[in-house]
Structure 1
Amino acid sequence: MQKKMLAVPLAMAAALGLALTGCSSSGATDDAGGELQIDVPDIPMQEELGDFEDEVNIVAWSGFVEPEWSDAFTAETGCTVNRKVAGTSDEMVQLMRTGNYDLVSASGDASLRLIVGGDVQPLNLELIPNFGDDIVEGMKGQLYDTLNGQSYGVPIGRGANILQYNTEEVAEAPTSWDVVWEEDSPYAGKIIGYDAPIYIADAAVYLMAHEPDLGITNPYALDETQLQAAVDLLTQQNAIIGDYWSDPVKQITAFNGGDVVVGTSWEVLKKLSENRALEGTLPEEGSTGWSDAWMLGAEAANPNCAYAWMDYTSAAEVNGQIAMNFGMAPANAAFCELNDEAREHCELFNATDEEYFSNVWFWTTPIEQCIDGRTDVTCTNFQQWTDAWLTVKG
């Protein structure tokens, strides 16, 4: 199993550049425990499989669709795999809206937009037998791919946005995000933050713990007052930021060169940096994170090949190949028991540690309907977050 971890996270950085996010608790319920209903177009679900078509057209992140497993799929099914690599979630949404693609490997910031926009169809999980007991529970039934009791996504992998620090400069291992948010941080000027509107959710996670009177219960469900509080915190941080990053190479270079000593990271970047002084932690406040899923186009021309692909890539070995290639926790936990290399990878990315991921709020598109269940206010949407981020950056 060949690892290609450096090139892939580079693509992921671009892919997530405009990302927005969602929560770690089940997306099928609101914060009060009741079922959350969101208005979505009524698109029929495929009831049974037919004959395979000649091809399947897929929009994917770099590293998700590679010859080492797609060629075997073609040999098995006769479905030729045509891949279109996308660089951002916005590009994925635009491409799926053309109707020219059958499948997309959507992140949480794109998936809710695709569902609400009527661009993807609900899935018949009975036609995907590998979507079974081995798929980790924390990736089932999430708001970013499951609405109103209907599943729209087949999980591929997930990851947390952790606090990374240089042990040669940060003498005491941090347990809180306060070292990157508070203006009296001893590391002012050497802090790195994520350069995207979704970083607003990171501020909201911190405010949830430290300013409970704001009433934030979901970092992706912010009313105007709560959004302004997050912007104020981000503006305060901007004065002590050493750099922002969306390109992992830039982040690795900043840490390795000593320009920054603490800030937001992904688990894979510590390994890729080959810097033994770097450590990472999931702070006491929790963090944001990301999760990707296969989604089927509402007007897919090749739905039978698409279902076959979703099933094939949900099998332990293939799902593991994708996870190792990309640098993330696999969705299929059975992969973690295949061999020593798989076990090491799963341990590095906390693949089956649901307690760990229970503190991660996965990306979900902010929409005007409050996904925390509130009905007495209107929440801020994707465009408002984008506008707010521009004010932070100046």
Structure 2
Amino acid sequence: MRSTIMTGTALVAVSLLTLSGCSSTGEDDEAPGLSIDVPDVPMQEELGDYEDEVNIVAWSGFVEPAWSDEFTAETGCVVNRRVAGTSDEMVQLMRSGDYDLVSASGDASLRLIAGGDVAPLNLDLIPNFGDDIVEGMKGQLYDTINGQSYGVPIGRGANILQYNSEVVTEAPTSWDVAWEADSPYAGQIIAYDAPIYIADAAVYLMAHEPDLGITNPYALDQTQLDAAIELLQEQNAIVSEYWSDAAAQVTSFVGGTTVLGTSWEVLRKLTEDEKFGSVLPEEGSTGWSDAWMLSAQAANPDCAYAWMDYTSSPEVNGAIAMNFGMAPANAAFCETSDEAQAHCDDYHATDEEYFENVWFWTTPIEQCIDGRTDVTCTNFQQWTDAWLTVKS
């Protein structure tokens, strides 16, 4: 569902992301996020009258009649939805100029920002973007540039290790059962099918080969990328299949083809079988965080701002999170009902200690976002080219 293989015009943004600057986490520098040169796209200063519609590119489950009809009744803005299946498709659709908003994941965000395809956001025009938005989804490298926010958080999740407890009788604590050649589950392992999965190999190497010096799985110099690709090629020998379609992943587990591998918590729940367990292994993991981003060419910016505010309310943000299967961005949702609290507990919504071990998808760029300035890091096109060698 979220494959990220780069094609066509998506290469443009990568070429733009070869700029100098310094990375920042917001802890030691004045400006949160990343510091790089990006196109000068103006920020909207105030709201005007609502237009008649808003056109949105979104993941399946993010824009549904249950809340879009209510939004239209409140604002008069008719919601037109285009479902996208990949981050690459989202980037291309946003470049068409036909859409006002996109629910971008971190592996698309920097491409959109660097390409001048999305505008910085005036958070004063989004009152629901306030204290209740979880801190771990604010000021991140993938959507905050030079201290300016380009994304309104929607939800997040980790790429976890799922297993069939009837076969994997000892609950795993490490990714080693999915990566090491002598895994007792060789030939029954499923892995994610996308260039961004290179970061999963890098997370494993961070813990098991510290001499490589990897401190951020999205900031790999050529030597580090080569090591990750070598590990992926070794893993290929024990992988039974790769997945990018969520339904296919669930089918593989339920059908018994797979007994262990990369998953999302919602996919484990979709198996509807208690024998399937999951864990965030001791090495940590990669993950995804989605945010609304406003087109730099938005024909309906006022309706777009209204949508971002509306969907950031506890009730609506929570409804989206429950519908899709992820941790909501607005923590106040967790206190609205027992059902909401149970969902938040299941998806670790307010557990920042849990998410401290999750490296959210971030577009690899030539500027090393780990702060190094003595080397050049590899970009997403290089990752895409390298990924093609993994399964060959």
Q: Indicate the TM-score class for this superposition, using the shorter chain for normalisation.
A: over 0.9
2:219 corresponds in structure 1 to: 221
Amino acid at match of 2:135: E
User: How many matched pairs?
Assistant: 374
Contact 1:313–1:319 (CA<8 Å) still a contact in 2? Answer: yes
Look up the match of 2:125.
127
> Which residue identity lines up with residue 186 of structure 1 in the other structure?
P
| Structure 2 CA distance for aligned equivalents of residues 31 and 352 of structure 1 | 20
2:389 partner SS: helix
Q: Partner of 1:186 in structure 2?
A: 184
Indicate the residue corresponding to 2:67 in structure 1: 69
Establish whether residue 350 from structure 1 lines up as the match of residue 348 from structure 2: yes
2:27 equivalent to 1:29: no
Structure-2 separation of matches of 1:234 and 1:31: 32
Offset at residue 287 of structure 1 (A) = 0.1
**Paired residue for 1:243?**
241
Distance of 1:18 and 1:344 partners within structure 2: 35
| Matches of 1:179 and 1:380, distance apart in 2 | 28
For residues 32 and 238 of structure 1, the distance between their equivalents in structure 2, rounded to whole angstroms, comes to: 38
Compare 76-85 and 197-206 and name the one that shifted more. Answer: 76-85
Q: Deviations over 1:328-357 (max 9, x none)?
A: 111011111111211111111111110000
Match of 1:390 among 382, 388, 391: 388
Q: Give SS of 1:37's match.
A: strand
Q: TM-score, with normalisation over the residues of structure 2?
A: 0.93
Contact 1:56 1:102 in 2 (8 A): yes
Distance apart, 1:163 and its partner CA: 0.6
Residues 291-339 of structure 1 deviation map (CA, whole Å, 9 limit, x = unaligned): 1000011121111111111000000100011111111111011111111
Question: What's the counterpart of residue 371 of structure 1?
Answer: 369
Alignment of 1:196-345 (within 5 A): 196-345=194-343
Q: Shift in Å at residue 30 of structure 1?
A: 5.2
Are 1:31 and 1:217, in contact at CA under 8 Å, matched by a contact in 2?
Answer: no
Residues 65-74 or 285-294, more deviating:
65-74
* Cα deviation 1:58-112 (Å, max 9, x = unaligned): 1111111111111111111111111111121111111111212111111111111
Deviation at 1:169, TM superposition (A): 1.1
Secondary structure of the equivalent of 2:129?
coil
Structure 2 gaps, min length 5: 7-21
What is the identity percentage for the equivalent residue pairs of Structure 1 and Structure 2?
79
- Partner residue of 2:108 out of 107, 110, 114: 110
Aligned residue type for 1:128: I
The answer to whether the 8 Å contact 1:17/1:246 transfers is no
Could you tell me which amino acid in structure 2 is paired with residue 46 of structure 1? Q
Structure 1 vs Structure 2 CA RMSD:
1.6
2:320 maps to a residue whose letter is: I
Gaps of 5+ in 1: 1-12, 20-26
The Cα offsets for residues 213-270 of structure 1, whole Å up to 9 and x where unpaired, read as: 1111110111111000000000111111122111222222222222221111100111
C-alpha displacement at 1:17, in angstroms? 4.5
Amino acid at match of 2:78: T
**Paired residue type of 1:245:** W
Instruction: State how far apart, in whole Å, the 1-side matches of 2:215 and 2:359 are.
Output: 11
Distance in 2 (CA, whole Å) between partners of 1:318 and 1:293 is 14
Contact persistence 1:368–1:379 (CA under 8 A): yes
Which amino acid letter does the alignment assign opposite residue 229 of structure 2?
V
CA distance in 1, matches of 2:120, 2:210: 37
Matching residue's letter, 1:65: V
The letter of the residue matching 1:102 is D
Q: Distance in 2 between matches of 1:293 and 1:378?
A: 28
Distance 1:139 1:88 in 2: 21
Query: Structure 1's 309 and 32: CA in aligned 2 closer, same or farther, altered over 3 A?
Result: closer
Deviation of 1:48 (Å): 1.1
- Aligned equivalent of 2:83: 85
Shift of 1:18: 3.6
Q: Distance in 2 between matches of 1:131 and 1:28?
A: 24
- Counterpart of 1:342 in structure 2: which amino acid? A
- Give me the whole-angstrom Cα distance separating, in 1, the residues matched to 2:223 and 2:25: 20
Cα deviation code 1:123-158 (max 9, x no counterpart): 010110000011111000111110110000000000
Name 2:137's counterpart in structure 1: 139
C-alpha distance in structure 2 between counterparts of 1:38 and 1:30, whole Å: 13
- Tell which deviates more after alignment, 84-93 or 195-204: 84-93
- Going from structure 1 to structure 2, the CA distance change for 1:274 and 1:259 (only over 3 Å counts) comes to same
Structure 1 length-normalised TM: 0.92
Q: Mark the CA change 1:32 to 1:103 in structure 2 (over 3 Å): closer, same or farther.
A: closer
Give the equivalent residue in structure 2 for 1:3.
none
In the other structure, the counterpart of 1:97 is 95
Q: Is 1:148 aligned to 2:146, yes or no?
A: yes
| Partners of 2:23 and 2:368 within 8 A in 1 | no
Q: Structure 2: how far apart are the matches of 1:333 and 1:32?
A: 22
Q: 2:173 aligns with which of 172, 175, 179?
A: 175
- Tell me which residue corresponds to 2:50: 52
Higher relative contact order (CA 8 A, sep 6+): 1
Offset at 1:371? Answer: 1.1
Q: Distance in 2 between matches of 1:138 and 1:32?
A: 12
